[in-house]
Amino acid sequence: MRTHRVRETTAAVRGRRGAPARRLGAPLVLAALLLTACGPGGGGAGAASDAGARNAASRAVVTVAPKDGSTAVATSDALRITASDGRLTTVTVEDDRGNGIEGRIAADGGSWLPLTHLAAATRYRVHAVAEDDRGRVSAKDTSFTTLVPRDTFIAHHTPEGGAVVGVGMPVSLVFTQGITEPEAVERAVTVTADPPVEIAGHWFGDNRLDFRPERYWRPGTEVTVRIGLDGVQGRPGVHGTQSKTFSFTVGRAQVSTVDAAVKTMEVRRDGRPLRTLAVTAGAPATTTYNGVMVIGEKHRVTRMNGATVGFGGEYDIKDVPHALRLSASGTFVHGDYWSSPGTFGTTNVSHGSVGLRDVRGGGDRTSPAAWFYENSLLGDVVVVKNSQDGVIAPENGLNGWNMTWAEWKR
C-alpha cells in the first residue's frame, strides 16, 4: 500500500498540474523558511532581540519638581523639569484656563526652566516627554498649586489706558509696597512702542519705576504696557496680584519754553512757533526750578495752600484756575487773577510756579491761561531756563528727562 500511494501521487502530479502542486507547496515553503531561519544569514534570535529592544521601556526618566500634587508652591525658582538617560523633547506647563508658561529646554536636552514666574493661587498641569538614545519615549504628567500670598502689592500707573498724551510722558509705576527685589519686578513689566524704539526703566527709590525712550516719543507712537506682577515676589513674603495690559497714544509734539529772565513762554508745536505768552515766574526768594518738566495733572480749578509745600501760611487760594502740575513739590503753570495785568512779562512774583494772566473763575476763554490750558495735553513738555535756581530733581514729578540716557540706564 505505501508503494501504491507514492506512485499515485506521482502520476497525479504529472497529469493534474494545479491542485496537487498547491498541496506540495506549503511543506516546501515551510522547509525553506526553516532553512533560512537556521542558516547563517537569517535573523533568528538576533531579530527577536532587536524587536524586544524596540518594545522595551524607554530608559529616559523625566523628573518634575515640585512633586505631583504639591500645594503652596513658590511662584519663582520652584519649577524645574529634568531628564536622565535621555533628552527632553516636549514640555508644556498650563493653568486650568489653558494659559501656558513660556520656558526653554537646555541645549543638551537635560532640563527645562520657565522664562517667567508663575501666578499665585493657581493650579498648573505639567506634561513632559523625553526620548532615549534608541528613540523610545517616556512621559510625565503632574500637577501642583502655587501659594496663596498673605501680603500683596500692585502698581498704580501713569498714564491711563487709552489716553492721548504729549511726547514727554513717561510710563510711571508707583507700587503699594516698597520693593526689595527690583530685578524680579522690572522683568515682569514690558513697555513696547510702535514704531519700535529702545525703552529703559529707572527706579526712583524702592516704590517707583519709570520707563522712557532716549529722546521724546515720536508723535503718533502707540505704546503698550504689560504688567505681569501676579505671583512676583517684590519683597520677602510679599507678592504681586496684578496682571494688566494697557496702551496709550502719543499725540502732537508740544514743547513750551519759559525764560524766567525775560518773563515769557514760547509755545512750539511740531517744531513751529505757536504763540508767545507773558508770564510771571518765581520771585527772587522763591525762584522757579530750571529744567525739563512734564505736565502730570490738569485742574480747571484747584486749591493751592502754601502750608502743603513748605511755605507756611503765606497763601491759601481756594480757586486757582487753569492749573497744570509740573512737579510733586507744587510747581504749576496756572492762571493768576490776583496779580495786576502789568505784572505779566515784567515782574516775577510767584512762589515758584509760572503764572499766566486769567480771571477769577476762569470764565474768560480768551485769557492766556485758558488758552494754554485748552491747548495742553498731559505729557506736554515745559522747559524753564534762566531762573536763579537749580535744575529740578528727576524724581520730583515726571521729570526724568533731566537725566542723561547713560544715567537713566545706569
Instruction: Provide the CA 46 distance to its chain's centre, in angstroms.
Output: 58
Does domain 151-250 sit in CATH 2.60.40.3710? yes
DSSP state of 282: B
Residue 214 near residue 130 (C-beta atoms within 8 A): no
Q: Which residues contact 105 (CB under 8 A, 6 or more apart)?
A: 88, 89, 91, 111, 112
- Select the more confidently predicted residue: 27 or 191: 191
369-404: per-residue pLDDT in tens?
Answer: 999 999 999 999 999 999 999 999 999 999 999 999
* Least confident segment among 52-61, 255-264, 275-284, 318-327: 52-61
Find cell 513750551 and name the residue: 256
Q: Where are the domains of the chain?
A: 61-146, 151-250, 254-409
Mean pLDDT (whole number) for 300-322: 83
42-92: per-residue pLDDT in tens?
Answer: 455 555 555 555 678 999 999 999 999 999 999 999 999 999 999 999 999
Residue 53 pLDDT: 58
Residue 364 pLDDT: 95
CA proximity to 383, closest of 212, 252, 266: 266
- Select the more confidently predicted residue: 95 or 33: 95
Mean pLDDT (whole number) for 20-31: 40
Cα separation of 78 and 126, whole Å? 13
- Select the more confidently predicted residue: 241 or 313: 241
206-230: per-residue pLDDT in tens?
Answer: 999 999 999 999 999 999 999 999 9
Full DSSP string of 100-152: BPPEEE-TTSSEEEESSPPPTT-EEEEEEEEE-TTS-EEEEEEEEEE---SEE
Cα separation of 363 and 340, whole Å? 17
Percent pLDDT > 90 in the chain is: 83
pLDDT band at 314 (very low <50, low <70, confident <90, very high): confident
Domains 61-146 and 254-409 share a fold: no
**Cell triple for 98:** 489653558
Residue 1 pLDDT: 40
Does domain 254-409 sit in CATH 3.40.1590.10? no
Before 195, cis peptide (omega within 30)?
yes
Q: Which residues contact 227 (CB under 8 A, 6 or more apart)?
A: 155, 157, 173, 188, 189, 242, 243, 244, 245
Residue 43 pLDDT: 52
User: What is the CATH T-level fold of the domain 61-146, as seen in this structure?
Assistant: Immunoglobulin-like (2.60.40)
